[in-house]
Amino acid sequence: MAKDLSKILVIDLEATCWPKEPPAGEQSEIIEIGLCVVDTKSCQRTEKRGLLVKPTKSQISPFCTELTTITSEMVAQAPSFPKALQILKKEYGAKSCLWASWGDYDRRQFERQCQSDKVGYPFGPTHLNVKNLFALSHKLKREVGVAKAFEILGWEMEGTHHRGIDDAWNIGRVLGYLLKSLQVQALGS
């Protein structure tokens, strides 16, 4: 399968969580797949979407709702994890394009849940860690969170922090900025 380099899928996940360890018999599961499509030619965000996902091995805790604003009622009629993966593959061509996230948490969570649910990984082998790229491009001594990156850039975050749809959109903005910077540097060489 040929790689589609015309776009990058920026993904940000929200998952069931607790203040400490999960309750007995429960495990962290994806409850929202936020995505933003970044056009690599224009370096612009072209689409944003939030896919809510119904958990099957855990409950949404009050702590999780406070952090993400996602409630059990919101995901009650949401698609299952395998159905959400089908949307990523069919509607966004996830297997054939580069995907990106802020750090490695999202990649590892997809890998864990795909293995746990015995479903195929929805992406190709290439993942871009925007958190690494941002730290390197700004010559930082360590990686920073999305909110700190926005502070460094002098930008205001859009939407609700810790909602996948909004975080993916914000990460997409940073990625577009970094891509544009690379293009400008390449032209100047």
Q: Which residues are CB-contacts of 65 (< 8 A; sequence separation ≥ 6)? A: 71
What does DSSP assign to residue 157? P
What is the pLDDT, as a whole number, of residue 1? 67
**What tens-digit pLDDT sequence spans the chain (189 residues)?**
678 999 999 999 999 999 999 999 999 999 999 999 999 999 999 999 999 999 999 999 999 999 999 999 999 999 999 999 999 999 999 999 999 999 999 999 999 999 999 999 999 989 999 999 999 999 999 999 999 999 999 999 999 999 999 999 999 999 999 999 988 777 766
Q: What is the pTM of this model?
A: 0.95
pLDDT at 189: 60
For residue 23, report the phi and psi dihedrals to the nearest 5 degrees. -60, 155
* Cα(3)–Cα(14) distance, integer angstroms: 27
